[in-house]
Chains A and B, each alone.
Chain A
Amino acid sequence: MLQFVARRILYMIPTLIIVSIISFIIIQLPPGDYLTTVVTNLRATGETVDEATLAAMEQRYGLNQPIYVQYWKWITGILLRGDFGQSFEWNQPVSALIWGRLGLTFTMSLATLLFTWAVAFPVGIFSAVRQYSIGDYIATFIGYVGLAVPDFLLALILMYVAFKVFNQSVGGLFSPDYVDAPWSWGKVWDLLKHLWVPVLIIGTGGTAGLIRVMRANLLDELHKPYVVTARAKGMTEARLILKYPVRVALNPFVSTVGWTLPILVSGSAVVSIVLALPTTGPLLLRALMSQDMYLAGSFIMLLSVLTVIGTFISDILLAWLDPRIRLTQ
């Protein structure tokens, strides 16, 4: 097991390095260099730019040095000092802007994951045990529709219905009273009251996929001899199914986390923009539109890095649950 974990960590390191390189490339892609943009922006707001500040910035980002030196300065700044650079649009260090939003994004993704499990588990079992029943068809159909409807469209429709029928807005994650309040139990409860809307919207696609996997896996198990034996011995059906085949069929719940997590994070980015949630999505879009590249690049990198780590944790969990995996690899 330890060996498996060590190997996975070894695999993860190049991934993280490449992710950081891609993010750095994205930062560098827009034409014109960072310093010129900053100076233009400062001039536009009527501030005077003194030479000493410029020189200090040039030194800090290594701006007139080759690209790999710039990358090195950027990445060591992040790793050693937690310095992600400066957001010129907000005129604040990037690190002051991102952590709160990243936290909310991953809270939302995690809540969605739990929701997906909570729904897919019973529905998947039902669909498999009562194969070709009306319930199975309905679940399958809803699953397909969930896969086909883009998240943002679902968000728009929900917003429209809430607006027309209930005459209220579903946007935001907090009530006005709590937006700027410090964290407290009241705020957490308020968050939970708002969170279900985006969770429902982002979760539909993943739930549909997981139901199908659960159903297929359980169907494979249900006709195996050990199930027949248990049944012949007079075990009650509910106990029999939950105790043996379901346990084997559960693997995908953990093994799919690896590819569900990126999808959830992606989905939450788009849905957040439509619903104007205070997560990474809207700020990332705005940063990209105004070419506030250090902010945008940091978002993309941290979203990716955290997703990679999430995938890594799910891999470890899976290996812990299923010995076959750590033995074959």
Chain B
Amino acid sequence: MANSVHPMLNDRKQVEREAGGPAVPNNSRSTEEARVLVASQWLLMWRKFRKHRLAMVGGTITIVVYLVVLFAEFLAPFPSNAFSSQHTYAPPQPLHLFDRTAEGLRFSPYVNGYSITINQAALKREFVVDKASKVPVRLFVHGTPYKLLGLFDADLHLIGPSVYDEDPTRIIIPMYLLGADRLGRDVLSRTIYGTRISMTLGLVGVALSFVIGLTLGGVSGFYGGWVDNTIQRVIELLRSIPTIPLWMGLAAALPSDWTPLQVFLGITILLSLIGWTGLARVVRGRFLALRTEDFILSARLDGNSTARTIRVHMIPAFASHIIASLTLAIPSMILSETALSFLGLGLRPPIVSWGVLLKEAQNIRAVATAPWLLLPGIAVIITVLALNFLGDGLRDAADPYGR
């Protein structure tokens, strides 16, 4: 389309290119100018973003959460499937950093052990945190071996009991900082591993919806007309269907003999198949707004092809908006996964996600005996809040010239 706009300009460019003369320095100067302009715009955004205090806090927390994702094995005291049949529903043991010894206060972290009594009438173990007994806890302890980042062999854990069992699926010395679940598995370790799955699913899902949303939203906004109309109708259609019942129906249809990884991918694809509409709307809106801007018109008159106009002139102009929308899309993806897995239709054990963990707390009896099973929910809330704050800050900063 751009080629047909102004044949004369095209001809001139053609001539210049063939002559090999003035076109080259001209081009490099303009890209250099563009680079300076873009850089200063990002700098403006960064300045504006820094002023948004909540967004800075949100951003910091988000970075911390992704560090947890990367170093889950190091941070978690135990593997996610390590259990102890003696410690079902053991309550949290508070961590003491300093120990009162004969020589005074010493840095020597420990947790109190349990005294276990078996309630014959209710047929269950009752745990009391025993103040007298001390279980020593070590920092940077050599424990269950793992592969760091999937590359390096390591066995260092940030914190853990002084002794580990040979069998990595056993916990012999209890150190349940956030309590234990119905199989005596450590809630803290499982929450850390759950962070990895939930956050990865959020990222992959948003990446998928981003591809769909950018393509369809871009096509819709750039071409307009019946293409736009059709895509808008599809978006309206998808947005008017209640998502959870639809997801429930589709997720329940995933074959039950799939491996957990296949289920993970299947659920991610399901979530993004419906989740792309919001992004497509943002992209389309920006395209529509930019299409009539003078600098786009001049880029076209200069003989840029459609693809080049989009790539070089339009995308940098709305990249910041897209990044903000992407950030805001991650939390809703995470919340959807959590809800689905909570209902038992999403991810399945042995994969550990926040939703899978919260499923343990699905009935009131479990919650009443072990309220700490709700703790993974706090991880969800903090992460979703942080991402929302970050996204809001980014959205405000995306337009540094606004109020």
Contacts and interface: CB of A to CB of B under 8 A. Distances in A.
A149 B246 contact: no
B240 A262 contact: yes
B245 A152 contact: no
Contacts of B389: 144
Interface in A172-191: none
Interface residues of B, number: 40
Interface string A90-111: 0000000000000000000000
Interface in A299-325: 299-300, 303-304, 307-308, 311
A72 to B, nearest CB: 21
Given A148-B331, A300-B246, A15 B240 contact: yes
Nearest to B362: A274
Given A266-B245, A267-B244, A26 B368 contact: no
Contacts of B343: 270, 273, 285
Main secondary structure of the interface of A (DSSP, over half): helix
Contact of B374 (A160, A269, A304): A160
Interface residues of A, number: 54
A26 B242 CA distance: 15
B244 A26 contact: no
Contacts of B246: 22, 300, 304
A39 interface: no
Interface string B235-255: 011011111111011101101
B339 A150 contact: yes
Contacts of A308: 240-241
Interface stretch (B43-51, B82-90, B377-385): B377-385
B53 to A, nearest CB: 12
A150 B353 CA distance: 15
Contacts, number: 136
Contacts of A266: 242-245
Nearest to B365: A163
Interface of A: 11, 14-15, 18-19, 22-23, 26, 29-31, 144-145, 147-153, 156-157, 159-160, 163-164, 169, 171, 258-259, 262-263, 265-267, 269-270, 273-274, 280, 284-285, 288-289, 291, 296-297, 299-300, 303-304, 307-308, 311
Interface of B: 233, 236-237, 239-246, 248-250, 252-253, 255, 331, 335, 338-339, 342-345, 358, 361-362, 364, 367-368, 371, 374, 377, 380-381, 384-385, 388-389
Given A160-B374, A300-B245, 17 more contacts: A14-B233, A29-B249, A29-B253, A30-B253, A145-B381, A148-B384, A148-B388, A149-B377, A149-B381, A156-B374, A160-B364, A160-B367, A266-B242, A270-B339, A296-B249, A307-B240, A307-B241
23 contacts: A15-B236, A147-B388, A148-B331, A149-B377, A150-B339, A153-B377, A156-B377, A157-B374, A258-B240, A262-B241, A263-B243, A266-B245, A269-B242, A270-B343, A273-B343, A280-B245, A284-B245, A288-B249, A296-B249, A297-B249, A300-B248, A304-B241, A307-B242
